[in-house]
């Protein structure tokens, strides 16, 4: 019996080649999109699963609440870790780490910059990484020891057996390899290839309560209650922290760190998890659109199978066997579509990885992968084939065999509803594509308050620290360079913050956390930041090493009138405000512009030199800077980056979402149009005789096209009306994640509707023109 059903299914597919192609190709497109999204989602939710007992590892965040403004950050003051480790018994291990550093690693004649961190000795007790050589417990206890990854060991020593061997870091100090750990996978929040004891680079300012510069991670005891531990940590920090500081700790599980990076009212509110949810819904949408095609075409062409059903019922076939037959045919189509989809996925995966900047791979022996594919085939086959199977098996044999089978209003209404549904989903994606695209353009083109164009930067290292101002003056001697400055942070992403700012008349209850960074001379000039009052730091004023520059937001926070010339107390002690800058965006558009204070300093905390090139002279400027840098720092490789590229990296997630939603939106329209093409072809076939009569009576081609197209266009218009309010709500909520964003306008929705109507009209017209141009004599003979 099942063999017979299989033969019938194959014959039916071969007999109706156009509709079989539309069904299989449409389902394959939908399945391949869903598979790619599933692979991406699976990688996203697997972050940090590399570590054993993941649920016991927590990041200690710093929160503050002042007059309703609640702020949560990743950085904590240095003393927090000592207090927590000493007074919280629920903490089994704790580590304090720096932000990642790129340092020159040299072994013999081989030298390359490698990424790593400085951490307190219990780092590998918190992050229990597999070790290939050495002892995890004592890996970084000594200030002369270094733990390195398998990749570094094999790169510099030829194998993972590198314990006891020596390498030079930053061309200044030799370290002995004490341990070799397994490579950290890409989907881990803490990425590194080397770890050195924190004490090596510790300075006095790192021990202050007001300087938020480090990440603190804890591993709780297995029996510890995270809620109770959080309360205890808050209590001990409050007891030990000086009264002028009001920040408090918040524990966040490492398993949630990647997906829940945003906080609202001191609680995780979203982050990457929003994109996981959105694309999971998109995958379901696209698969449903493909299934709707199958259901619509199968139901529409049911009259072609009606006599077969009637004969089977007359000879005794039960309804359940007919349902099994048609569901089986649907599963065969779904299986063929899945095979084609796998070909698409394998072909597209390299390009997909490039877009999402991941290293996703298909593993032939992955049971989860094959279980997911089988589930996809079964779900798709059952969903797509359920209604056609139930509909065809319910037909009455007497009416069928007497030729009285007609389409009921209920069946026509269902087909129209399915068209509205699938185009509604497509229009939703088109609107999302347009809104996200415009927000990305807004981010890229909005004036930031500084000029990131024609600005390149180099890392300051080695001999450059000792001859910083001499080096800057040499750079300025180039006719291709207009200005240069030094800074401790990227001007478009200043992450450092402090609560150390003080001034006369300060409100004791004021939470005065400010963004802060070290800068050199001509900072405002190089970055083209407007000075509202006062001046930039200048080498002509020796006292500037004890002076400060603030932005508008800082002046507003301090409630100062005419701040230039007034005294404040900060990192360099008591000093004078010599300038007030116009506010500029010092972080992403997700955050409001924060109070900022600039400190004139040229030391180890000065990370970069920003170089402004003259328009059209970038190539010459780079060649000159490379020559000068090599003369000052011959032992270091010359590398440079552009500030605008660094700025774009801040919005990498949004850029990826923009690209994906664009591609998937286009595919959704293509799949919908495939179904529309099939329905238009079927409608034209059903009305062949009517079209012939109309042409004999004088109807022209345009009127026939309008006759066949108007019903479909009405359905598309209904889709627009239904999808637009939902899209408005969802996209407005997405835009609220940005403090600075575009306004939703009806123009976006009109454009999305126009795209949908135009594409649908083109699709239907293709078949309508073919039917309208048919010889009426042949049309009248068709029945």
Residues 355 and 482 in one domain: no
Residues 33 and 68 in one domain: no
Point out which residues pair with 608 in neighbouring strands.
459, 487
Mind listing the pLDDT tens digit for each residue in 469-506?
A: 889 999 999 999 999 999 988 888 887 777 788 888 87
At 315 the pLDDT is 62
At 354 the pLDDT is 87
User: Would you say residue 305 has pLDDT above 70?
Assistant: no
At 481 the pLDDT is 93
Q: What single string gives the DSSP state of each residue in 595-650?
A: PEEEEE--STT--EEEEEEPTT-HHHHHHHHHHHHHHH-TTS----EEHHHHHHHT
HSE at residue 705, side-chain half, CA atoms within 13 A, is 13
To the nearest whole number, what is the mean pLDDT of the chain?
83
646 located within any domain: no
Question: What's the mean pLDDT in 326-349?
Answer: 85
3-state SS assignment for residue 501: coil
Question: What's the mean pLDDT in 49-71?
Answer: 82
In terms of average pLDDT, the best of 219-233, 296-310, 651-665 is 219-233
* Percent residues over pLDDT 90 in the chain: 27
Question: What's the mean pLDDT in 220-227?
Answer: 92
Question: What's the mean pLDDT in 535-556?
Answer: 89
Residues 613 and 671 in one domain: no
Task: Count other C-beta atoms under 10 Å from residue 162's C-beta.
Answer: 24
Tokens 């549904």 correspond to what residue? 421
User: Would you say residue 138 has pLDDT above 70?
Assistant: yes
The residues, ordered by sequence, that sit 6+ positions from 685 with a Cβ below 8 Å of its Cβ are none
Q: Which residue has the higher pLDDT, 303 or 474?
A: 474
Helix boundaries (H) for 454-597: 468-476, 523-527, 552-558
Question: What's the mean pLDDT in 368-384?
Answer: 80
Predicted confidence band of residue 662 (pLDDT cuts 50, 70, 90): confident
Mind listing the pLDDT tens digit for each residue in 1-49?
A: 556 656 666 666 666 676 677 778 888 888 888 889 889 988 889 899 8
User: Would you say residue 66 has pLDDT above 60?
Assistant: no
156 located within any domain: yes
Residues 678 and 599 in one domain: no
Distance CA 148, CA 125 (A): 16
Rounded to 10 degrees, the C-alpha dihedral 455/461/467/471 comes to: -30
769 located within any domain: yes
The DSSP secondary-structure symbol of 48 reads T
Rg (the chain; Cα; Å): 33
Point out which residues pair with 270 in neighbouring strands.
262
Residues 128 and 247 in one domain: yes
Question: What's the mean pLDDT in 148-170?
Answer: 91
The residues, ordered by sequence, that sit 6+ positions from 371 with a Cβ below 8 Å of its Cβ are none
Distance CA 550, CA 563 (A): 9
- The residue ranges of DSSP E strands in 12-123, in sequence order, are 57-66, 69-73, 76-77, 91-97, 101-107, 110-119
454 located within any domain: no
At 124 the pLDDT is 94
User: Would you say residue 569 has pLDDT above 60?
Assistant: yes
At 371 the pLDDT is 85
Sequence length of the chain is 783
Residues 669 and 752 in one domain: yes
Q: Of 203, 230, 257, at which residue does a domain stop?
A: 257
Mind listing the pLDDT tens digit for each residue in 712-740?
A: 788 888 888 998 999 999 888 888 878 88
Residues 701 and 585 in one domain: no
Residues 82 and 229 in one domain: yes
Q: Of 572, 607, 635, at which residue does a domain stop?
A: 635
Distance CA 330, CA 332 (A): 5
What is the three-state SS of 530-564?
CEEEECCCCCCCHHHHHCEEEEHHHHHHHCCCCCC
Residues 93 and 235 in one domain: yes
Distance CA 587, CA 158 (A): 42
User: Would you say residue 125 has pLDDT above 90?
Assistant: yes
**Cα–Cα–Cα angle for 732, 733, 737, rounded to 5 degrees:** 110
* Strand 608-613 relative to strand 455-459, pairing: antiparallel
User: Would you say residue 319 has pLDDT above 80?
Assistant: no
Mind listing the pLDDT tens digit for each residue in 671-700?
A: 877 777 766 666 666 666 666 666 666 666
At 612 the pLDDT is 94
Pick from 111-125, 151-165, 394-408: least confident:
394-408
User: Would you say residue 440 has pLDDT above 60?
Assistant: yes
Q: How many domains does the chain have?
A: 3
Residues 612 and 680 in one domain: no
Beta carbons of 552 and 417 less than 8 angstroms apart: no
User: Would you say residue 701 has pLDDT above 70?
Assistant: no
Residues 231 and 186 in one domain: yes
At 696 the pLDDT is 65
610 located within any domain: yes
Pick from 291-305, 308-322, 399-413, 765-779: least confident:
399-413
Pick from 46-55, 123-132, 575-584, 758-767: least confident:
758-767
What is each CA distance from 31 to 286, 355, 676, in whole angstroms?
8, 19, 19
At 399 the pLDDT is 59
Residues 677 and 615 in one domain: no
Q: Of 232, 257, 282, at which residue does a domain stop?
A: 257
Predicted confidence band of residue 614 (pLDDT cuts 50, 70, 90): very high
At 72 the pLDDT is 83
| CA proximity to 87, closest of 245, 252, 235 | 235
657 located within any domain: yes
Distance CA 51, CA 46 (A): 11
452 located within any domain: no
744 located within any domain: yes
The residues, ordered by sequence, that sit 6+ positions from 413 with a Cβ below 8 Å of its Cβ are none
Distance CA 220, CA 179 (A): 25
At 108 the pLDDT is 86
Predicted confidence band of residue 68 (pLDDT cuts 50, 70, 90): low
User: Would you say residue 508 has pLDDT above 80?
Assistant: no
Question: What's the mean pLDDT in 328-336?
Answer: 81
Residue span of the structural domain in which 185 resides: 54-257
């Amino acid at each position: 019996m099942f063999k017979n059903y299989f033969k019938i299914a194959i014959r039916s597919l071969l007999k109706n080649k156009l509709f079989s192609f539309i069904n299989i190709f449409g389902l394959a497109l939908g399945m391949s999109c869903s598979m790619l999204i599933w692979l991406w989602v699976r990688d996203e939710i697997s972050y940090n699963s590399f570590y054993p007992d993941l649920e016991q590892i927590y990041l200690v965040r710093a929160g503050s609440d002042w007059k309703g403004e609640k702020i949560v950050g990743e950085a904590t003051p240095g003393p927090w870790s000592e207090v927590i480790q000493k007074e919280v018994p629920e903490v089994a291990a704790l580590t304090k780490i720096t932000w990642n550093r790129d340092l020159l690693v040299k072994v013999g004649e081989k030298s390359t910059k490698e990424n790593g961190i400085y951490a307190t000795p219990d780092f590998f007790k918190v992050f229990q990484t597999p070790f290939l050589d050495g002892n995890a417990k004592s890996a970084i206890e000594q200030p002369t020891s270094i733990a390195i990854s398998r990749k570094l060991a094999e790169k510099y020593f030829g194998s993972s057996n590198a314990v006891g061997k020596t390498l030079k870091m930053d061309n200044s100090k030799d370290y002995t390899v004490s341990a070799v750990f397994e490579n950290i996978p890409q989907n881990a929040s803490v990425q590194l290839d080397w770890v050195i004891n924190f004490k090596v680079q510790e300075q006095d300012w790192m021990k202050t309560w007001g300087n938020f510069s480090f990440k603190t991670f804890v591993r709780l005891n297995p029996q510890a209650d995270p809620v109770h531990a959080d309360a205890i940590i808050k209590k001990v920090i409050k007891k030990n922290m000086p009264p002028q500081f009001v920040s408090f700790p918040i524990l966040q599980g490492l398993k949630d760190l990647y997906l829940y990076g945003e906080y609202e009212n001191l609680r995780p509110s979203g982050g990457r998890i929003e994109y996981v949810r959105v694309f999971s819904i998109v995958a379901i949408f696209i698969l449903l659109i493909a299934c709707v095609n199958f259901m619509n075409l199968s139901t529409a062409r049911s009259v072609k199978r009606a006599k077969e059903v009637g004969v089977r019922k007359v000879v005794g076939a039960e309804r359940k066997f007919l349902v099994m037959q048609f569901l089986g045919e649907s599963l065969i189509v779904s299986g063929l579509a899945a095979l084609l989809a796998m070909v698409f996925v394998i072909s597209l995966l390299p390009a997909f990885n490039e877009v999402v900047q991941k290293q996703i791979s298909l593993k032939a022996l992955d049971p989860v992968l094959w279980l997911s594919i089988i589930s996809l085939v079964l779900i798709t086959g059952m969903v797509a084939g359920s209604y056609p199977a139930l509909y065809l098996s319910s037909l009455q044999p007497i009416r069928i065999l007497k030729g009285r089978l007609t389409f009921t209003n209920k069946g026509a209404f269902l087909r129209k509803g399915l068209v509205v549904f699938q185009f509604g989903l497509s229009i939703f994606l088109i609107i999302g594509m347009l809104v996200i695209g415009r927000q990305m353009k807004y981010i890229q083109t909005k004036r930031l308050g500084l000029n990131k164009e024609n600005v390149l930067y180099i890392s300051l290292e080695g001999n450059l620290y000792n001859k910083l101002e001499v080096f800057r003056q040499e750079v300025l001697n180039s006719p291709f360079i207009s200005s240069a400055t030094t800074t401790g942070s990227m001007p478009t992403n200043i992450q450092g913050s402090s609560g150390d700012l003080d001034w006369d008349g300060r409100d004791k209850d004021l939470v005065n956390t400010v963004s802060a960074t070290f800068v050199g001379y001509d900072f405002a000039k190089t970055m083209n930041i407007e000075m509202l009052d006062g001046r930039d730091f200048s080498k002509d004023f020796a006292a500037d090493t004890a002076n400060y520059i603030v932005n508008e937001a800082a002046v507003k926070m301090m409630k100062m009138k005419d701040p230039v010339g007034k005294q404040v107390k900060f990192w360099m002690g008591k000093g004078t405000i010599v300038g007030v800058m116009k506010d500029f965006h010092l972080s992403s558009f997700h955050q409001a512009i924060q109070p900022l204070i600039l400190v004139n300093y040229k030391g180890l905390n000065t990370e970069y030199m920003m170089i402004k090139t003259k328009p059209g002279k970038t190539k010459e400027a780079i060649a000159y800077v490379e020559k000068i840098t090599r003369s000052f720092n011959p032992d270091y490789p010359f590398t440079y980056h552009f500030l605008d590229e660094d700025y774009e990296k801040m919005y990498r997630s949004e850029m990826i979402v923009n690209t994906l939603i664009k591609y998937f939106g286009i595919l959704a329209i293509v799949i919908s149009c495939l179904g529309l093409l099939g329905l238009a072809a079927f409608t034209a076939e059903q009305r062949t005789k009517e079209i012939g009569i109309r042409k004999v009576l004088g109807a022209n081609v345009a009127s026939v096209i309008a006759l066949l197209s108007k019903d479909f266009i009405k359905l598309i218009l209904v889709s627009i009306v239904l999808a637009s309010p939902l899209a408005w709500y969802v996209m407005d909520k997405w835009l609220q994640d940005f403090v600075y964003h575009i306004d939703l306008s009806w123009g976006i929705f009109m454009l999305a509707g126009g795209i949908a109507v135009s594409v649908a009209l083109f699709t239907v017209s293709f078949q309508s023109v073919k039917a309208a141009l048919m010889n009426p004599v042949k049309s009248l003979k068709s029945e």
